């Protein structure tokens, strides 16, 4: 069994940024499970599947294979053999992933992949249900959150930097909707595991969050 660190929390809390830095500092492999849901979301978008049509989504899962690999230590997502890593981080893909991740067939499709990675390797894995569902016996569990305002502002700055046109209000609305969906779905909703450490990064710098989390890890 590998040494396992689980980081869960809402969209935009900085999980991936922080987890990557902790992975580097501690020599763990970073596993981004949201990217796996996004990989499947690309499959649904390509096929024109309606995310509200649970049967159609379940059916479409049958001809999708998501696998992961690493190039220079960076996680790559393959959808039916095609590297789709560069296509994952758009709002359209994120929304499709948020909607379809509530469907049992979608979650089951990715469960074994996530568990087998943690079994073989020392990992820091981020997502929504890692501490509560995927790795209930993780060595360290962190629930990383921040206020909606902080998360929206971070996302806004990130998009502006990329030169994308966006509105802070739209982003805040999107984050609230995604929180609502991720936290109220029937299976594996986002919640803090009882034995997880709560880290609210609203008023913390990135190095402060990394140090705080590293202090709990081996």
Q: Phi and psi for 174 in degrees, rounded to 5?
A: -60, -40
> What is the nearest approach in angstroms of ligand DC to the Cβ of residue 2?
18
Of residues 28 and 107, the one with the C-beta less far from ligand DC: 107
Q: Phi and psi for 81 in degrees, rounded to 5?
A: 90, -15
From 4, 14, 21, 34, residue interacting with ligand DC (rule: CB under 6 A):
34
Contacts of 143 (CB under 8 A, 6+ apart): 7, 8, 9, 131, 192, 193, 196, 197, 198, 199
Residues paired with 137 in a beta bridge: none
Taking CB under 6 A as the binding criterion, the range among 53-61, 92-100, 144-152, 160-168 that sits at the site for ligand DC is 92-100
From 18, 19, 66, 97, residue interacting with ligand DC (rule: CB under 6 A):
97
From 57, 138, 178, 210, residue interacting with ligand DC (rule: CB under 6 A):
178
Contact status: 179 vs ligand DC (CB under 6 A): no
> What is the nearest approach in angstroms of ligand DC to the Cβ of residue 126?
7
Contact status: 94 vs ligand DC (CB under 6 A): yes
Q: Is 128 left (phi over 0), alpha (psi -120 to 50) or beta?
A: alpha
Size of the site for ligand DC (CB under 6 A): 15
Contact status: 128 vs ligand DC (CB under 6 A): yes
Contact status: 33 vs ligand DC (CB under 6 A): yes
Contact status: 101 vs ligand DC (CB under 6 A): yes
Contact status: 129 vs ligand DC (CB under 6 A): yes
Residues 185 and 178 sit within 8 Å (Cβ to Cβ):
no
Taking CB under 6 A as the binding criterion, the range among 74-82, 122-130, 150-158, 200-208 that sits at the site for ligand DC is 122-130
**How far is Cα 103 from Cα 88, in angstroms, rounded to an integer?**
19
> What is the nearest approach in angstroms of ligand DC to the Cβ of residue 201?
15
**How far is Cα 75 from Cα 114, in angstroms, rounded to an integer?**
13
- The beta strand positions in the chain, using DSSP E, are 4-8, 29-32, 66-71, 74-79, 82-83, 123-127, 140-145, 197-200
Q: Please give the residue ranges that form the binding site for ligand DC (CB under 6 A).
A: 11, 33-34, 37-38, 94, 97-98, 101, 127-130, 178, 182
């Amino acid at each position: 069994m590998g040494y396992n660190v689980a980081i869960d929390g809402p969209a935009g809390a900085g999980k991936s940024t922080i987890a990557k830095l902790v992975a580097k500092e501690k020599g763990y492999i970073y596993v981004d499970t949201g990217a796996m849901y996004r990989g499947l979301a690309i499959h649904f978008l390509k096929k024109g599947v309606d995310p509200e049509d649970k049967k159609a989504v379940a059916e479409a899962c049958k001809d999708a294979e998501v696998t992961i690999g690493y190039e220079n230590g960076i996680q790559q997502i393959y959808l039916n053999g095609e590297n789709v890593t560069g296509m994952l981080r758009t709002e359209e893909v994120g929304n499709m992933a948020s909607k379809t991740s509530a469907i049992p067939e979608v979650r089951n499709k990715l469960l074994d992949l996530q568990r087998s990675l943690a079994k073989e390797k020392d990992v820091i894995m981020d997502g929504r249900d890692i501490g509560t569902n995927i790795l209930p016996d993780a060595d360290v569990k962190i629930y990383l959150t921040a206020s909606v305002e902080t998360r929206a502002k971070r996302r806004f700055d990130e998009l502006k930097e990329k030169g994308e046109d966006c509105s802070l209000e739209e982003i805040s609305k999107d984050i609230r909707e995604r929180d609502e969906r991720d936290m109220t779905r029937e299976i594996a909703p986002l919640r803090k595991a009882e034995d997880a450490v709560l880290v609210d990064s609203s008023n913390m710098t990135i190095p402060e969050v990394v140090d705080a989390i590293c202090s709990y890890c081996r």
